[in-house]
């Protein structure tokens, strides 16, 4: 009997996926082949449908096997003819490797039926088109995050407020030590609100690179840019940095 192992992945939001990935796009699976050199991966031939960042690879390696002969929640079971939204980074591997922790989402199965996260994927694709238009070249090897407690307390001051925009995006420039050097409003709520948000992000928020650990001193390249997004819930009249799947 095959053993089943849980796949433990860090929670990476769409903004950081865009930041750290070398390629993001919607692809169709054109062919699947077992990998004779490494039985824990198989190969997929791809057809580009839409690219949000980078150059689409003709092939990728996928965690698992064509016949799913070992059981693991990290395995990515794809089928010929399916369409997927994928995020992949270089990792010095050729071709690229895709696993569950890379956050792939099945859009359509081989019969054209929508995947269970189709609605979420469509939201992500709208965001990715915006990112592609306004910041096509941003990249970092490290994710960028801020202290969630401080951010939550700041955003509480906007409870009960209504805004015409459902989202706002801010392009933040950092130096190597995660100090903010510049913030540009890409798509804001209002001039006054945006000024308040920029003041918080630049002077009060605590930023760190990589996954959070106590005394994290990870540095980044000079003038690393990151798109920070806030979501307005018109029903609850709240602001949040987190997109909740619907």
> Cα dihedral angle (30, 34, 36, 40), rounded to 10 degrees?
120
Please, which pLDDT band fits residue 97 given cuts at 50, 70 and 90?
confident
Reply yes or no: is the peptide bond before residue 95 cis, omega within 30 of 0: yes
Choose between 75 and 226: higher pLDDT.
Answer: 226
Encode pLDDT of 104-146 as tens digits: 999 999 999 999 999 999 999 999 999 999 999 999 999 999 9
d(C-alpha 213, C-alpha 151), whole Å: 18
d(C-alpha 88, C-alpha 12), whole Å: 13
The reported pLDDT for the residue numbered 1 is 37
Q: Residue 94 pLDDT more than 60?
A: no
Ramachandran class of 33: left when φ > 0, alpha when ψ lies in -120 to 50, beta otherwise: beta
Q: What is the mean pLDDT of the chain?
A: 89
φ, ψ of residue 222 to 5 degrees: the values are: -60, 140
Ramachandran class of 51: left when φ > 0, alpha when ψ lies in -120 to 50, beta otherwise: beta
d(C-alpha 113, C-alpha 39), whole Å: 30
DSSP code string of 162-195 = --S-SEEEEEEEE-TTS-EEEEEEEE-S-HHHHH
Q: Residue 175 pLDDT more than 90?
A: yes
pTM: 0.90
The reported pLDDT for the residue numbered 213 is 64
Encode pLDDT of 218-230 as tens digits: 899 999 999 999 9
Encode pLDDT of 14-66 as tens digits: 999 999 999 999 999 999 988 777 677 889 999 999 999 999 999 998 887 66
The reported pLDDT for the residue numbered 91 is 63
The reported pLDDT for the residue numbered 34 is 84
Encode pLDDT of 151-174 as tens digits: 999 999 999 999 999 999 999 999
């Amino acid at each position: 009997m095959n053993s089943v192992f849980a796949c433990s992945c860090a929670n990476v939001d769409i903004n950081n996926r865009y930041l750290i990935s070398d390629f993001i796009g919607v692809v169709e699976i054109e062919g699947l082949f077992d990998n004779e050199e490494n039985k824990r991966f198989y190969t997929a031939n791809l057809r580009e449908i839409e690219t949000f960042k980078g150059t689409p690879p003709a092939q990728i390696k996928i965690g698992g096997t064509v016949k799913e002969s070992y059981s693991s929640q990290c395995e990515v079971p794809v089928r010929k003819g399916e369409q997927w939204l994928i995020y992949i980074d270089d990792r010095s591997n050729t071709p690229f490797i895709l696993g569950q922790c890379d956050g792939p989402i099945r859009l359509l199965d081989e019969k054209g039926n929508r995947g269970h996260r189709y609605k979420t994927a469509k939201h992500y694709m709208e965001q990715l088109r915006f990112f592609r238009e306004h910041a096509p070249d941003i990249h970092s090897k490290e994710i960028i995050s801020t202290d969630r407690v401080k951010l939550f307390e700041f955003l509480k001051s906007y409870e009960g407020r209504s805004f015409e925009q459902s989202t706002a995006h801010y392009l933040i420039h950092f130096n190597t030590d995660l100090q903010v050097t510049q913030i540009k409003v890409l798509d804001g709520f209002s001039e006054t609100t945006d000024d308040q948000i920029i003041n918080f992000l630049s002077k009060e928020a605590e930023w760190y690179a990589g996954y959070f650990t106590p005394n994290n001193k990870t540095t980044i390249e000079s003038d690393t840019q990151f798109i920070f997004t806030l979501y307005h819930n018109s029903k609850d009249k709240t602001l949040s940095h987190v997109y909740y799947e619907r």
